[in-house]
Structure 1
Amino acid sequence: MTVHLVLEEDRQRIDADRPFGERDRTVLLWCTKELTVKKKRSLRVNIEFDHATLVRWSPDGKAFIIHKAVANAIEVYKISKKSDGTLASATKALEFPKRHTEEVVGMDIASTGKYIITCSKANDLVIWDLKGQILASIEFYLGFIYRARVSPCGRFVGASGFTPDVNIFEVLFTKTGDFQVNKAFDLAGHSSGILDFDFSADSSYMTTVSKDGTFRLYDTKIEFAKGEDPHLLLTGTWESAATAKVALSPNTEVLAIAHGSSLSFYSTIDGLLDNTIEDIFMGPITCLAFDALGEYVLVAGDKHIKVFHNITGYRVAIESAKRKLAQKQTSATKERLEKLIVDNMKFLDEMGEPFSQ
């Protein structure tokens, strides 16, 4: 399957004092199969009289949506492909009606393809259908909102902000076609605003990073309909900054926090800092994500995307396997864990990295 990558124009977040005319009014689309070749091809999509601050692919890869900065509105672009699967063109198909009056800080598409969310600083999260009709509007009481997300499973939407809680709602489409949004649970325990939060790949765990200088990991496999609260599994400290982005690896063993232009990696086994990559960009990191297998970490900033090996993940996997070997295991499990340790040590040795920090 061909995977495509979108590089969004984020320079306005870094050079906000520049006149609008100097900002690049484009979205660039890349095929990741070609990222290793010397001459990379991209599809340039011009944004008329505006520029994009947020961009997301549809789950089927046949369209993408952008949030336009000046118009403060959502546009949908449909993708056409050549016979070899490469990108041919992108055509504007739809513009949603303007709904927000403040800056939009969150936009996402559910993996089910059934809805889109947008959320502004002003505590208003809107759930749209794919044709730009409003399904629901959720009013939060977070002071002002820093981040809004949809869970990977598409079942939950949430937001965090100035107050020390993350509010999570369940989104339901019934068999009869009815649409419902119900309060699910809160992530509580911080003493200051929550700058960012993230879901695990299966939405069973969540992590938060707060202005109070701590991060937390929660077990969210709970019966919230019966009043059960998320279970706190881990808390740790991080180099607190005015802004931050957080990402949880697919196996939940590594936590990555982008603070300013630096990126720090933490083990969720003990909550300790493993490594920090300093000054990746001239300006702040604007986007942070793990790949689907957790082997790489992708960061965006200064109009570039950089990809790093998840070295911490290999070290944590070794430590996790050693702890499991100390327990009673079947011969097959023991053999598998021993092989995992050997393979990961070999990789770290090839990369010139120590087996532990």
Structure 2
Amino acid sequence: MEKIVAGFLSSPTVLVAIFFGGSVLLLFYILKLFKIEHDEQHQNEPVSGPKRDPVAKSKKKPTWNRSDKPQNFTNPWLLKTLKSHTGQVLNIDYSASGKYLASCAEDRAVILWDSKDLTQKDVKNLRVNVEFDHPTFVKWSPDSKAFIIQKYNENAIEVYKIEKKKDGWLGHATKALTFPKAHETDVIGMGIASNGKYIMSCSNKTDLVIWDLKGQILAQTDTYLMTTTCAKISPCGKFVVASGFAPDARVWEVIFSKTGEFQEIKRVFDLTGHSSGVYDVAFDADSSHMATVSKDGTWKVFDTKIEYKKGEDPRLKITGKYYHVGNYSLIGLSPNAEVVAIACGNSLAFYSTLTGHHDYTIDNIYAGRITSLLFDAMGKYVLTTGDKYIRVFHNVTGYRCTIQTSKEKLKSHQTSATKERLEKIINECETFLQTIENN
């Protein structure tokens, strides 16, 4: 037996194989040592930028290059860029009257803008400083006499009352109340109901809180979403919607008695149909339509004017695909529910809900990502925030949809007055589109 083994090992072929195998093992060992040294070097490198993302701090975001240098951005759809913040703008909100716009940023300030006429060259504004902290959300009270913010470090809601001057413009803003801390993790949604009956806040975990206006907790509920990415109050003030890790958005009704006393928050229906987590939710003007955007690369618009108390579910009106990059997207729905706008990274894409087709994309709006998205009350403009700026865009897709719906109405029998009005609308929209195309 020993002779057989010795003969086998003395074979030239075997010796070559052993030598080659040993060389390969040595090479793998050297490469492994190099990788360990390379990884240790990168672990010891300093990490630049903020430690936490103040917009949605629980999620890993796509890394967009940020720069403090002014960005020269132009686009035919751009109406105006509002510049007064010195830090990244995080959130915006229109007052119920549409006269004022509020914005908040990492520069520890809320700025209140005169938004009656955004076409004017200079837009008047009032700066309100926030002590020792910066706000991540800002919302107007229904009467426009106050606004509320969500403070980043304190993780609490704060109320500011506004005095008006004799000329009607906004005067001094004074801190009136700070709510007790209710969330242990970062808040991803905060709002005040249009009926003025309650305030909502929700963390990136599963705790959603309903408050009265004096900072007392009325109710707490679990979203059962594992991770919550969005929580909003519907424009009618009746519903609270939350979405996150699950492939559906969940809708609760906040119920009050006829005398105005809080009764309960009750789960009433879901927005279903996605195959992956829902990033964001949006509403039309009267809450009769809700829109969702998902990690699965699709958006959906639902008809939510339903008899949910009788068990009726929302009806899917239309769905479409969007170009998905990174780990988060925002969605906006025009007041008449005819246009969907989706912000992904630093791009803004427009879609028609009449056809589901993509209409136009505006790229590289900011050096960093878009942090919030909002239609004005009339649907004429779409506002975005990012870097240190608020950019106001014409809703050109909305004009195109108006032409399409008006032409469809003309095909049916109409009175002469209605026909004349529709033709006038078409002419006005076509004239506007020509001015945009000529820019």
Q: Please, what TM-score do these two structures have when normalized by structure 2?
A: 0.75
Distance 1:60 1:156 in 2: 20
Q: CA deviation at 1:46?
A: 1.9
Is the CA contact 2:193–2:237 (under 8 Å) kept in the aligned structure 1? yes
Distance 1:35 1:341 in 2: 24
- 1:6 maps onto 2:102 in alignment: yes
1:18 aligns with: none
Partner SS, residue 351 of structure 1: helix
Is the CA contact 1:259–1:284 (under 8 Å) kept in the aligned structure 2? yes
Distance 1:243 1:196 in 2: 9
Q: Note the alpha carbon deviations across 1:191-220, whole angstroms, 9 max, x for none.
A: 000001111111111111101011111111
Distance 1:315 1:201 in 2: 19
Alignment equivalent of 1:158, drawn from 219, 222, 241? 241
Q: CA deviation at 1:34?
A: 7.3
Is the CA contact 2:297–2:321 (under 8 Å) kept in the aligned structure 1? yes
Distance 1:147 1:325 in 2: 40
Partner SS, residue 437 of structure 2: coil
Distance 1:2 1:288 in 2: 16
**Correspondence 1:77-92 to 2 at 5 A:** 77-92=160-175
Alignment equivalent of 2:406, drawn from 295, 308, 321? 321
Aligned AA (2:136): T
2:321 aligns with: 237
Distance 2:404 2:116 in 1: 33
Consecutive aligned runs of 4 or more in structure 1 exceeding 6 Å deviation: none
Structure 1 353/219 Cα, relative in aligned 2: closer, same or farther at 3 Å?
farther
Distance 1:330 1:212 in 2: 46
Aligned AA (1:56): K
Distance 2:396 2:122 in 1: 28
Is the CA contact 1:209–1:244 (under 8 Å) kept in the aligned structure 2? yes
Is the CA contact 1:7–1:304 (under 8 Å) kept in the aligned structure 2? no
Gaps of 5+ in 1: 12-23
Alignment equivalent of 1:114, drawn from 194, 197, 201? 197
- 1:100 maps onto 2:183 in alignment: yes
Distance 1:232 1:137 in 2: 30
Q: CA deviation at 1:238?
A: 0.4
**Correspondence 1:190-339 to 2 at 5 A:** 190-241=274-325, 242-339=327-424
Is the CA contact 2:231–2:242 (under 8 Å) kept in the aligned structure 1? yes
Distance 1:178 1:38 in 2: 46
Q: CA deviation at 1:347?
A: 1.3
- 1:189 maps onto 2:189 in alignment: no
Q: Note the alpha carbon deviations across 1:217-246, whole angstroms, 9 max, x for none.
A: 111111111111111110100011321111
1:21 aligns with: none
Distance 2:253 2:229 in 1: 20
Aligned AA (2:269): F
Which has more strand, going by share of residues?
1
Distance 1:39 1:312 in 2: 26
Distance 1:158 1:269 in 2: 24
Structure 1 39/268 Cα, relative in aligned 2: closer, same or farther at 3 Å?
closer
Is the CA contact 1:266–1:275 (under 8 Å) kept in the aligned structure 2? yes
Which has more helix, going by share of residues?
2
Distance 1:170 1:285 in 2: 30
**Correspondence 1:28-43 to 2 at 5 A:** 28-33=111-116, 38=121, 40-43=123-126
Q: CA deviation at 1:350?
A: 2.1
Cα RMSD (Å): 1.7
Gaps of 5+ in 2: 1-96
Alignment equivalent of 1:141, drawn from 224, 228, 236? 224
Is the CA contact 2:297–2:323 (under 8 Å) kept in the aligned structure 1? yes
Structure 1 335/190 Cα, relative in aligned 2: closer, same or farther at 3 Å?
same
2:157 aligns with: 74
Q: CA deviation at 1:268?
A: 0.5
Farther off after superposition, 197-206 or 327-336 = 327-336
- How many residues matched? 341
Is the CA contact 2:218–2:262 (under 8 Å) kept in the aligned structure 1? no
Is the CA contact 1:2–1:31 (under 8 Å) kept in the aligned structure 2? no
Structure 1 148/2 Cα, relative in aligned 2: closer, same or farther at 3 Å?
closer
Distance 1:123 1:38 in 2: 45
Larger Rg: 2
Is the CA contact 2:98–2:377 (under 8 Å) kept in the aligned structure 1? no
Is the CA contact 1:157–1:169 (under 8 Å) kept in the aligned structure 2? yes
Q: Please, what TM-score do these two structures have when normalized by structure 1?
A: 0.91
Q: CA deviation at 1:178?
A: 4.1
Identity of aligned residues (%): 57
1:17 aligns with: none
Distance 1:295 1:302 in 2: 23
2:12 aligns with: none
